Amino acid sequence: MKKVILKKNEERRINLGHIWIFSNEIKEIIGDVQSGDIVQVFDSRNSFIANGFYNKSSLISVRVLNKETEINFPNLLSKRINNAYKLRKLFYPNRKSFRLVFSESDYLPGLIIDKFNSTFVLQVYSSGMNNYLDEIFRILKNDFNAENIFTNNDEYFRKLEGLDIDQKILLGSDAVEEIINDGKVNYHINFKSTQKTGFFFDQCDNREFLGKLANGKKYLDIFCNSGGFGLHAALNGAKEIMFVDSSKSEIENVKRNYHLNNFESNVGYTESDAFEFMKEINERNEKYDIVNIDPPAFAKNKKSLSNAIKGYERINSLAINATAVNGLFATSSCSHHLNEQEFFRMILRAANKSNRKIQLLHFNGASLDHPSLPSMDETKYLKFALFKLD
């Protein structure tokens, strides 16, 4: 038997629903336990707590899988992937593309699956889940009629888990292109030239919400990526849209997506560093009715949080300056290390620096295909806020 014995009282978080056990919470390991093995977890009184994936190379030593004494993981894996699909179809009955599995939030720790019609893109961030790639392939092929299955793993998170930095094609090809819809907006997805799994599904609901306010407005989309926010503005009749991104390939993607949808707004594209672009339009005193910024994660860990907050505050201040009187300012952060309280403090400092009064109109997290666990703050990361500026 492969067992992990916890220190006194370290089971309390797990009993409340958290599913990570850290290395400093473990008293003893019994048996020849290797990374990727399923272990039984016991409290300090030798009472059974849970089963989980073990990883000796990670600060997260155990990722909890279930709390029954027995575990048949292939059956559990199939059941939870299918349950995750049913949950998505409850909210998005007509969509063929969405985040199918959101790791810990769907009780499948270390596994992300994005569905693009019949193409499935995986990210695997636990050594245990890495051992079940063949089983995941079988489920997606048999239960979902997958035509293409491949991994597009993030190097940073694989390294944290002591995993090789490899990409695998399990079925078909990763050279395919898909056309997907996000609400009523269509996108070309070229998996060779896009970030992460190919599309940021987590902002789908926020893009649709903000787009509905854009009719007749002059709209600025900063860190536009594939153009989602601005394209929803075009769908809803924005008068003028400027897309800004530092990536040439992303600007080309935006152009393709704009023409794919046959929109008629007056549109511009700028390949530029967001900070430099914002400084230039501030110097010209150029204003927009709606300004949206969706920056990348400036803080990938706690050590970088202090500098990240400075970066967020600076770009938010520049964006606030570019927002017209009585205009709307939308801002996001996908850094889970930046909590909600500090997120709002940062925005208040940015507004004060710009000498502007702000009213919060709307606050949201990720889209409904990105559930979170109330017991686990680590599963809540995206913050989206809409403000009216004086």
pLDDT digit string (tens) for 253-282? 999 999 999 998 899 999 999 999 999 999
Band of residue 303 on the pLDDT scale cut at 50, 70, 90: confident
Q: Which of 143, 160, 175 is the last residue of a domain?
A: 175
240 and 98 share a domain? no
336 and 207 share a domain? yes
Region 379-384 average pLDDT: 96
337 and 237 share a domain? yes
Q: Given this model, what pLDDT does residue 334 score? A: 93
Pairing of strands 266-271, 323-333: unpaired
The percentage of the chain sitting over the pLDDT mark of 90, rounded to a whole number, equals: 86
258 and 366 share a domain? yes
Q: Given this model, what pLDDT does residue 302 score? A: 76
10: CB partners within 8 A, 6+ apart? 21, 25, 26, 43, 44
Of 86-90, 192-196, 354-358, the poorest mean pLDDT is in 192-196
Both tokens of 370, joined, read 């990105």
Identity of the amino acid at 350? A
Q: Given this model, what pLDDT does residue 118 score? A: 96
Q: Given this model, what pLDDT does residue 158 score? A: 86
Q: Given this model, what pLDDT does residue 152 score? A: 87
Q: Which of 31, 66, 101 is the last residue of a domain?
A: 66
Backbone φ and ψ of 321, nearest 5°: -60, -30
Q: In the 8-state DSSP scheme, what is residue 103?
A: G
77 and 94 share a domain? yes
Q: What is the pTM of this model?
A: 0.93
* Overall number of domains in the chain: 3
148 and 204 share a domain? no
Region 144-149 average pLDDT: 97
124 and 246 share a domain? no
Q: Beta partners for 250?
A: none
Does 196 score more than 70 pLDDT?
no
Backbone φ and ψ of 58, nearest 5°: -120, 150
3-state secondary structure of 237: coil
Of 183-192, 215-224, 323-332, 356-365, the poorest mean pLDDT is in 183-192
Band of residue 166 on the pLDDT scale cut at 50, 70, 90: confident
- Give CA 131 to chain center in angstroms: 24
Does 168 score more than 90 pLDDT?
no
378 and 288 share a domain? yes
Band of residue 337 on the pLDDT scale cut at 50, 70, 90: confident
Instruction: Give 33-65 pLDDT, tens digit per residue.
Output: 999 999 999 999 999 999 999 999 999 999 999
Cα–Cα distances in Å, from 378 out to 100, 165, 267, 335, 339? Answer: 19, 23, 38, 10, 10
Distance CA 248, CA 237 (A): 26
Of 83-97, 98-112, 290-304, 362-376, the poorest mean pLDDT is in 290-304
119 and 9 share a domain? no
Which of these, 307, 332, 343, 319, lies nearest to 386 by C-alpha position? 332
In terms of C-beta distances under 8 Å and separation of at least 24 residues, what long-range contacts does 360-363 make, across chains too?
360/385, 360/386, 360/387, 361/328, 361/386, 361/387, 361/388, 362/209, 362/386
Band of residue 389 on the pLDDT scale cut at 50, 70, 90: very high
- CATH number for the domain that contains residue 374: 3.40.50.150
Both tokens of 89, joined, read 């179809």
Q: What is the mean pLDDT of the chain?
A: 94
E-only strand ranges, 67-155: 97-102, 111-116, 119-124, 148-151
Distance CA 202, CA 335 (A): 13
Band of residue 198 on the pLDDT scale cut at 50, 70, 90: confident
Which of these, 339, 336, 350, lies nearest to 387 by C-alpha position? 350
Helical packing angle, 305-321 and 340-353, nearest 10°: 50
- CATH number for the domain that contains residue 18: 2.30.130.10
Instruction: Give 9-19 pLDDT, tens digit per residue.
Output: 999 999 999 99
211 and 345 share a domain? yes
Region 296-314 average pLDDT: 84
Written as one string, the DSSP assignment of 321-361 is: HTEEEEEEEEEEE--TTS-HHHHHHHHHHHHHHTT--EEEE
23 vs 265 pLDDT, higher one: 23
Q: Which of 66, 82, 97 is the last residue of a domain?
A: 66
Region 90-119 average pLDDT: 97
257 and 217 share a domain? yes
Region 166-193 average pLDDT: 89
End-to-end CA distance of the chain: 65
Residue 324 domain boundaries: 179-389
209: CB partners within 8 A, 6+ apart? 362, 364, 386
The percentage of the chain sitting over the pLDDT mark of 70, rounded to a whole number, equals: 99
Does 110 score more than 70 pLDDT?
yes
Instruction: Give 239-259 pLDDT, tens digit per residue.
Output: 999 999 999 999 999 999 999
Q: Given this model, what pLDDT does residue 194 score? A: 65
Helical packing angle, 73-91 and 133-144, nearest 10°: 50
165 and 245 share a domain? no
E strand or H helix at 3, and its extent? strand 3-6
